[in-house]
Amino acid sequence: MSAEGGNARLIVTFFAKSRPSSQDNFRSQSLACGPTFSQLLASSLSPAESALDSYRTLAPGIFQSVYTITNPLPKPEKLRHNTSITAFEALHAVEIIWDLVLNGTSNDLRPIKLAVFDMDSTLINEEVIDELARSIGITSAVSAITARAMNGEIEFEQSLRERLALLKGVKADVWDELKQTITIAAGAKDLVDYLRERGVLTVVVSGGFAPMALWLKGQLGLNYAFANHLVVSPSNATYPYPHLSGELSPEHPIVVPEYKKHVLESLAQEHSIPLSETFVVGDGSNDLLMLGAAGLGVAWRAKPKVQREAPQRLNGTTLSDLIFLLGGQESRDA
């Protein structure tokens, strides 16, 4: 997000990589993430000035400090990659999420009106295209193309088209089978329920496929779902049943990284929501553009390339941990 001038709140949330095994370890870690860290932060922010407003324990192994920051305002993504701070993370076995809130309220709620999520390996545990490939025994071939895309050897759209071509002949009703095996990620429902209670618009935008995205929209109560549409061919001599043609529908947009970012920006504009009040979560390289455009973009259990390049990253076990970033759940003073 932009951080150009004026005063702001810098919200710094610490997540222990493993929950403390004893009260002494918990207390030691919490103290390290408080006053000791404030000294490190002051040197990292110079010439900007910071004042610690509050420090709280949100849950065992999760701590949060809030600072008032003056000009020049820092960029959260630069703080994340500061070598002294990454060394602090390694020493204390924590991951730090940085969030800069401009013109924020004085309460604990992070201003947010629009939340956009990736689907595969984010809101659900699986990669749908891999499940489709498994259904006809071509997992290795599809995975090889995926690896080329992740290594930057081919663009996302090209990799998608190549993988889909291998899926020609899959039964058109395969989605009914997948709905019985696909699992919703831990904490996804809690996170979406929390957002809905706050009146936040919730969206899934996926480089996967519309039948599963629309199913997930219903399962979680999301407001919008965007995904790729596939062409279904009628029965013929080779495939005596309705089947996937192996092609994308020319009547619908292809969900490439630029389109994901477009969905975020267009929905924000349509609902008069500033981008600073948007929240994005994803795990793949095709999520990087929308992660970077959001007020708070978090790469969740992401691919290595995304871990390196995303504005923020977190490797937890439940999406409900993200509620802490938004001011949710009760906390107690440290």
User: Could you read off the pLDDT tens digit of each residue along the chain, which spans 334 residues?
Assistant: 444 456 789 999 999 998 766 666 666 677 777 778 888 898 888 788 888 888 888 988 999 999 999 888 889 999 999 999 999 999 999 999 999 998 655 566 899 999 999 999 999 999 999 999 988 899 999 988 977 776 668 888 999 999 999 999 999 999 999 999 999 999 999 999 999 999 999 999 999 999 999 999 999 999 999 999 999 999 999 999 999 999 999 999 999 999 999 999 999 999 999 999 999 999 998 999 999 999 999 999 998 889 999 999 999 999 999 999 999 864 333 3
Q: Whats the size of the chain, residue-wise?
A: 334
Neighbour count for residue 317 (Cβ, 10 Å):
11
**Extended beta strands in the chain, E state:** 8-16, 50-59, 62-69, 94-102, 114-117, 201-209, 224-228, 230-233, 243-248, 278-282, 296-300, 312-314, 332-333
pLDDT at position 16: 93
pLDDT at position 112: 96
Q: In what order do the strands lie in the sheet with 94-102?
A: 94-102, 8-16, 62-69, 50-59, 332-333
Exposure on the CB side of residue 253, measured as CA atoms within 13 A: 13
What's 163's DSSP letter?
A: H
Task: Report the alpha-carbon distance of residue 19 to residue 16 in Å, rounded.
Answer: 6
CB 14 within 8 A of CB 32: no
pTM above 0.75, yes or no: yes
Task: Report the alpha-carbon distance of residue 182 to residue 65 in Å, rounded.
Answer: 37
Task: Report the alpha-carbon distance of residue 209 to residue 252 in Å, rounded.
Answer: 12
Q: What amino acid occupies position 210?
A: A
Q: Which residues are annotated as catalytic?
A: 118, 120
